[in-house]
Amino acid sequence: MKESLEGETGEAMGHVRVRDRLIVALDRPDLKEALEQVDRIGDAVQWYKVGLQLFVASGRDAVTALADRGKRVFLDLKLHDIPATVERAIRALDGLPVAFLTVHASGGPEMLRAAAGAARSMAAGPRLLGVTLLTSLDGTEIPALFNAKTDAREKVLALAGLCADAGVDGVIASPQEIDSLRREHPAPFLVVTPGIRGAGDAAHDQKRTLSLAEALARGADYVVVGRPVLEAPDPRAVVAAYQDSI
């Protein structure tokens, strides 16, 4: 059975605690440096994302080390392969204390169904999320990628529909698509949103962005932030400012 997620959807903005909604992307080259960041931030952050870089560098130890510190883990591997390979890869993760897990929605309905079934079989009961359109894309790439004349919003909605039909628990999408996603996919379907940038933040490689407060107001369940927190002189002050902003 899936454990309940603290701060589930449905709260009014005035009652939202950023600590329950903020996932810090722990994109660091090795586990030692990553854990130094976690210890520096302390109890201001509950959730961390282990992405491809850290998982390739440190493997399962990255997940267990965070869990040992009482943190919740979003394992963001963005799996994308033939259905049998993705299913077996997810089953191989069984035993890890992960709360969220990702696959690419563009892997198609059969892959998504196989992934959803495998995730449901895991003891930790992670929520499976389909990655729609990366926030490093602005939509102009869609004709070349998908041989289709459509915009980012329409493509995200189409991929989200595939996920919902396949039994996937939610999607990863930019904050600019949240309104449309919420109209078509109300709770408990999850919307987890990267591409969070404030007015004074460097965009880096993020193209479809909004502020944390705007993303939550539009209906994001969780927001993912990396460099604006990790590269700040005082990460705890950044988190406090996020709380003040809502």
Closest CA to 64 of 31, 21, 24: 31
User: Which of helix, strand or coil describes residue 206?
Assistant: coil
Distance CA 169, CA 163 (A): 8
Crossing angle of the two packed helices 152-166 and 109-121, in degrees rounded to 10: 50
Crossing angle of the two packed helices 31-41 and 235-245, in degrees rounded to 10: 50
Q: Please confirm, yes or no, whether 78 is among the known catalytic residues.
A: yes
Active-site residue, from 49, 78, 149, 207: 78
DSSP conformation class of 167: T
* Cis status of the peptide bond prior to 188, with omega within 30 of 0: yes
The set of catalytic residues is 78
